Structure 1
Amino acid sequence: MNEKLEVKVWRGRESGEFVTYEVPRLESQTVLDVVTHIQRNIDPGLSYRYACRVGMCGSCAMSVNGKARWTCRTHVSKVAKEGRLELAPLSNLPVIKDLVADMTEFFDKWARAKGRFKGERTRHQDFALIKPDSKERRAADAGIECIGCAICYSSCDVVSWRPEFLGPAALNRAWTLVNDVRDVERDERLLAVAGDAGCHACHTQGSCTERCPKQLAPTAAISGLKRLSIMALRREK
């Protein structure tokens, strides 16, 4: 196969430009393969992230032809339009350099949504037992596989309009913990996600659910938080 790909890659920081590279087109080629070829054979100064290459870490996420994707699991044959690709860093995040987005803000919002589990048992006590078929366990399981790749965050129009919005990943994490019967910060967490930048700012457009590579449904999680936070407010009154 002697075909070539025309690949436009964002170079620079917040201000920069697309640079075009010509890359050999191969069978079973992923977008990450393309970026790696450019860095190793054409331009060693290109910055990008990856780790596992098998869809487990999410660190290789980029914008591919305008959509956030895991590049290690995205085959060129599925996304190249007439032999062309356009690669950019994730949207809604500051750019460190080239294809590398600054994830600090993303994880700071995770923390503001109280995305850390806090139980009451110590390591010296027996494990807490949870019925696997309980309503709460099923609700938590539905969103627990999130790996924090930020594809949903990058795809969220509300984050684009309102940069202070906590975003679907942080809210999905809050939902899993709200439904974890072992956690002792349920009320504090509902309060944290119920403010102006929290779950009620979501417009329920569903872009996060549509784009999630893990087939999770942050939209449903956010809807659950809306319902529970209103119920908690009514109880206080």
Structure 2
Amino acid sequence: MSSTQEVGAAADEADQGAEVVAAPVALAVEPEEDLGAVSCREKQRILICGHSMVFWAAHQARRTRIGSQLGLSDWARVEWQGRRGLRWPGLLPLLFGRRSGLPPHVLVIHLGGNDLGLMQGRALSLQVKQDLQFILRRWPGVLIIWSAMLPRRVWREALHRPAIERARMKANRAIQKALGEGLGIYLPHPRIRATFADLYRGDGVHLSASGNEVFLDDLRQGLRLALSHLWGARA
């Protein structure tokens, strides 16, 4: 599977079939079992950025067994940039500010949910595509992973929840299509659904501890596949 293909195994949520993705692909190299194969390779820098979902996921990861490196420390160095309340226009300043440092090998973006309700889903997806193209021009060779916008039980900026849910799914699909044209990898979260109340905090927006556990597992599996691709484990 190439970097332009999506990562995952199911529809995003309750509208089953709306965001169908390819079946999971097993890694050809497992770092826990083949340290000799990875020890000779340069560690990859992974940057995970986004709004409060990333902020709280990083907070929980530090408290778990796999830690903030998501169990990938033999392969990579994982860095987190979660900004609570971040909206899409803040992404490029976040990435290319004065302290941006060296470009990452892998860039994971989880963003856009805070913009729904303030702008149309189509306008958001077009802006996302344009900015991803800009990132690739500034950082040639970076592998972009789009972490799909999650459903919410409560949309603070919306008067009609079903309408904004439809906008979210359409935007995710449009971005998935753009990624398939060479911009990067699509990472869905099929196990996180608004109907699963235990995955959310009482505010209906942020993930609970169990929700973050699923979210972190999705990130880890997607990153393992991305690292396998970068290292040509299938060659």
Shorter-chain-normalised TM-score: which range? under 0.3
TM-score normalised by the chain length of structure 2 = 0.22
User: Which has the higher relative contact order, 1 or 2, with Cα contacts under 8 A spaced 6 or more apart?
Assistant: 2
